[in-house]
Amino acid sequence: MGDDNMDMSNVKIGPDSHDMKLPRDPDGVTIPAVSLTHDEGGYKVYKRRFFGLAQLVLLNVVVSWDWLTFSAVSKTSSEYFDVSEAAINWLSTGFLFAFCVASPAVIWTLNKGGPKPSIVACAALLLVGNWVRYAGTKAKDGIFGVTMFGQVLIGFAQPFVLTAPTRYSDAWFSDRGRTSATAVATLANPLGGALGQLIGPMWATKPSEIPNMVLYVAIISTVACIPSFFIPSLPPTPPSAAFNVTRIPLTQSHCNLFRALEFWLIFFPFGIYVGLFNSISSLLNQILEPHGFSETDAGITGALLIFVGLAAAAICSPVTDNTNTI
């Protein structure tokens, strides 16, 4: 059975393709139809897609770095703010709660506006959050509440960029490169956490250096965020037929998802793993400190934990892309 023998006379392609009839091959088997607005020859990928991909990588790096800014130096931070290390833990916990609160808005933004509004929202929240944090640390003896507020703003930012790579690669990359593009942008998030674990203890070796550490992170975040406002929204022409597939309404897609057993089989183990990873990353310094390890030692340990996982993902992603299997 080949494409040359397929009867395509009943296929309707174009803006009104919602009423298309499914083609049948000579053996009478129905072929699933896809609603398209361009001929197969009209699909094209653009080099500018890498600009947006690089921006997603940068944002995912800095937002995760921001998350673990204080966790990597929890003892030094607690001495600077004159609070307990448990209070410092709330800088990480507040960030994660903010992530959950912002998630419904992220779903709506990506569904209605696509990846660029989500990226811009993330950049704006990161800019404000980082400089609010610096204001809180720069004040005399540090104002913990202001720093917490800035951390929460950054927590609002993370889901906007963590979930954007899939939609961005769908809009800009062909079927062949979509999985790798999504993986590169998404895996940049733990890379930022590794950098935060590794570099933070080097920049803040004593309490008085905490404001400078936060300033350096704010400057890096600002440089990474500014290009977000200038990335193109969508390519002039779609990269593949998948981009023009007619999407079902958001509510219906959620209902279908929640009824799928496969979703729950992935959801529970993945959720448990992410929770464990976030907990260990946030508390690693306090776990190792009673055993005689310094903040620098804990930072190196946390970075190694993440880098090993990134190396494994770098190997698996191209294999998945080329074999179309998980």
- pLDDT reported for residue 291: 92
pLDDT at 124 over 80: yes
- pLDDT reported for residue 269: 93
> pLDDT confidence of 119, banded at 50, 70, 90?
very high
In this structure, are residues 147 and 136 in contact, taking their beta carbons and an 8 Å threshold?
A: yes
Q: For domain 47-237+249-323, which architecture applies? A: Up-down Bundle (1.20)
- pLDDT reported for residue 14: 42
Which pLDDT tens digit goes with each residue over 269-285? Answer: 999 999 999 999 999 99
- pLDDT reported for residue 221: 97
- pLDDT reported for residue 326: 62
pLDDT at 255 over 50: yes
Q: Which residues contact 92 (CB under 8 A, 6 or more apart)?
A: 67, 68, 70, 71, 278, 282
- pLDDT reported for residue 45: 72
- For the residues 212-226, what does the mean pLDDT come to? 97
Backbone torsions φ then ψ of 73, nearest 5 degrees: -130, 50
Residue with the two structure tokens 């993370």? 158
> pLDDT confidence of 318, banded at 50, 70, 90?
confident
Which pLDDT tens digit goes with each residue over 10-28? Answer: 444 444 444 434 444 444 4
Residue, of 54 and 4, whose pLDDT is higher = 54
Which pLDDT tens digit goes with each residue over 39-76? Answer: 445 667 777 888 889 999 999 999 999 999 999 999 99
Cβ-count burial 245-282 (b if 16+ within 10 Å, e if not) = eeeeeeeeeeeeeeeeeeeeeeeeeeeeeeeeebeebb
Lowest mean pLDDT: which of 143-157, 200-214, 306-320? 306-320
Distance of CA 114 to the CA centre of its chain: 14
Burial bucket for residue 62 (CB in 10 Å: 0-12, 13-18, 19+): buried
Angle between helices 85-113 and 74-81 (to 10 degrees): 110
The H or E element spanning position 218 is helix 210-225
Question: How confident is the prediction for the chain on average, in pLDDT?
Answer: 83
- pLDDT reported for residue 27: 44
Report which DSSP code applies to 24. B
- pLDDT reported for residue 25: 44
pLDDT at 243 over 80: no
- The reported pTM is 0.80
- For the residues 150-174, what does the mean pLDDT come to? 91
Q: What residue type is assigned to position 233 of the chain?
A: S
